[in-house]
Amino acid sequence: MIGVYYFEKKDWKKSLCCYFKALYARSLKLGQDSMGASDCHYNIAIVYKKLRIPDKSLYHFDKALRIRTLNKGAVSLTVSNVLEQLGKLFIETSQYKEAQEYLNQCLQIRKRLLFPDK
């Protein structure tokens, strides 16, 4: 929660530090492949995105995506949220083909969740 506080204050470095501490604690207590660890990777990726460090952001989004897919399955809202953020990251780095792929995957998951009969 302290990381969220600093994030809302736009103090990215303090927020990042808190999220790394939370990742360490959750990984020890819940496991490296827990949803708690995934949430930390997701938040770390968002902060790196704000700091305009795309390679580190991508690394943590990938970790979050792998863990969420493992725990929730490929068709879940938590997975689609990571895919959306990956798409936005690739737009910011002018990699439009990659952005389209991630955003399309996100859209397909959300369509399946909203309209399961189709």
Q: Provide the 8-state DSSP code for 6.
A: H
Residue ranges, the chain, pLDDT below 70:
118
Rg (CA), the chain: 15
Is 53 in a helix, a strand, or coil? coil
Q: What is the largest CA-CA distance in the chain?
A: 45
The pLDDT, as a whole number, for residue 117 is: 80
Answer yes or no: are the C-beta atoms of 45 and 87 closer than 8 Å. Answer: no
The pLDDT, as a whole number, for residue 118 is: 67
Task: Give pTM, 2 decimals.
Answer: 0.93
The pLDDT, as a whole number, for residue 78 is: 96
Number of neighbours of residue 11 by Cβ within 10 angstroms: 14
The pLDDT, as a whole number, for residue 51 is: 96
The pLDDT, as a whole number, for residue 1 is: 83
